[in-house]
Amino acid sequence: MAGISRPRGTDDLLPERLQAMEHARQLGTAIAASYGYRPLETPIFEATELFVRGVGDTTDVVTREMYTFEDRAGRSLTLRPEGTAPVVRAFWESDLRQAPLPARLSYWGPMFRYDRPGRGRYRQFHQFGVEVLGESEPELDAEVIAVAWRWLLELGLGGTSLQLNSIGDATCRPQFREALLDHFGPHLAQLPDLDRERLRRNPLRILDSKDPDVAGLLEAAPKTTDFLCDGCHEAFLRVQEALVAYGIHFQLNPLLVRGLDYYQRTAFEVWHEDLHGAQNSLFGGGRYDGLSEELGYPHCPGVGFAAGLERVTMLAPPPGPAPLPLVWALAAQPEAAATVIRLSEQLRGAGLAAVVDAGRRSLKAKMRSAERGGASLVCIVGAEELSQGLVTIRLLGDGSQVSEPLRTAVDRARALLFQSS
Ligand code: AMP
């Protein structure tokens, strides 16, 4: 159809999708709260420096995908591509850091990335996530995973697997990096351009390669876990022991890496069997003990996860219908318009959802709309009812009908709905 269409990579959240996303978000927030996480929201745009830091992978991937613009005062601002750096900034700029640590926080909101649009891949999408700041105990890594896992269970989302790895820290990662270079170095000519570039800029990222020509080399590549120093090794064992205590199955996946240096130790993803290729991840998370310093703040360890709500709701069974029974208040004649409007307000005040039709269409047309619109019950006021101070109440389920004084119509409607449900 001609006209202005929505920007590429964006989607309109139509009522069903929006209901599913709100359900998922509210459930996530409530489950996180049951583990002691408090929700916060940060601005949708931030100073660009919050996301562009240092060199290497940052400039390579993040910058290319960012929506960056100058405001009228010439400041460089960026629509947030992710939620962790803003949460760390908010932590330092508020009194959250004075509260007992660790701070347990949850967030949700739209994120923006200039990605190539595809199934489950948008330029504006929504993430729900949690972060734990101020402590580096490995049991916290497992706790964050437990929040994610319980959320999945309560959403009724099966077909998932938890992929777990440790990518070491500044002590042991340099040896691993060297080992990767030694392994792939003699095969440079056979690598596709993208992977050769990864090896040059950030060797760990080559483990992300999905190129079939590289699969054999990847299989034989050194494993992060063979290079862990004592501290990282012990922490990794503690994460696994705690996951067992939570009753959560995991799959060790030595190819799972995070490109950025501030990520340390635990890296995890939740995969779904219906998501393939580079887009198979439902959730991503890990420990980022180096991030706070990279943002110019004091050292502050952290761990968290983020999940894409579009992907989660695409795969989870749809939530049940809206919990409120729906009443339609219909004017059968024009002179009843004000009465049905007042009645609809009283119905809402009594905790029911009410749609009012005070217009001039025929009662028959209005009844048809009410039936199609999912009404459980209709309240009809016409000239005759008006003169006697009555309302006709009809239950759509069995077609039964009563005449009720206007004064008590709301109570009667509630009673009838209650009986019939
Ligand atoms: P990341 O922040 O890249 O670790 O991504 C975390 C989660 O956000 C992923 O597992 C996806 O569920 C979701 N996600 C990331 N990028 C997109 C996108 N372009 N469109 C929709 N969801 C996304």
| pLDDT for residue 2 | 84
**176: pLDDT strictly greater than 60:** yes
The more confidently predicted of residues 236 and 421 is 236
**47: pLDDT strictly greater than 50:** yes
pLDDT tens, 279-311? 678 999 999 999 999 999 999 999 999 999 999
Among protein residues, the one whose CA lies closest to atom 16 of ligand 1? 121
Q: How many CA atoms lie within 13 A of 253 on its CB side?
A: 19
| pLDDT for residue 60 | 47
| pLDDT for residue 388 | 96
CA 313 to chain CA mean position, Å: 9
Among protein residues, the one whose CA lies closest to atom 21 of ligand 1? 121
Q: How far apart are CA 107 and CA 299, in angstroms?
A: 22
- The alpha carbon of 92 and the centre of ligand 1 are apart by a number of angstroms equal to 25
What is the DSSP code string of 319-344? Answer: P-S-SSPEEEEEESSGGGHHHHHHHH
pTM of the predicted model, to two decimals? 0.86
Report the percentage of the chain scoring pLDDT > 90.
74
Residues contacting ligand 1 via CB (< 6 Å)? 82, 113, 115, 120-122, 125, 127, 281-284, 306-308, 310-311
- The alpha carbon of 278 and the centre of ligand 1 are apart by a number of angstroms equal to 11
pLDDT tens, 93-110? 999 999 889 999 999 999
Is domain 15-170+228-315 given the CATH code 3.30.70.100 in the classification?
A: no
Among protein residues, the one whose CA lies closest to atom 14 of ligand 1? 308
| pLDDT for residue 349 | 92
pLDDT tens, 273-284? 888 765 678 999
Instruction: Using most ligand atoms within 8 A of CB, pick from 61, 84, 121, 312 the residue to mutate for ligand 1.
Output: 121
CATH H-level superfamily of 326-420: Anticodon-binding domain (3.40.50.800)
Q: How many residues does the chain have?
A: 421
Report the percentage of the chain scoring pLDDT > 70.
95
**Least reliable range by pLDDT among 74-88, 120-134, 255-269, 371-385:** 255-269
For the chain, what are the domain ranges? 15-170+228-315, 173-224, 326-420
Q: 3-class SS at 306?
A: strand
Instruction: Using most ligand atoms within 8 A of CB, pick from 163, 281, 305 the residue to mutate for ligand 1.
Output: 281
Q: Do domains 15-170+228-315 and 326-420 have the same CATH topology?
A: no
**Mean pLDDT throughout 148-153?**
95
* 144: Cβ contacts below 8 Å, ≥ 6 apart: 130, 132, 285, 303, 304, 305
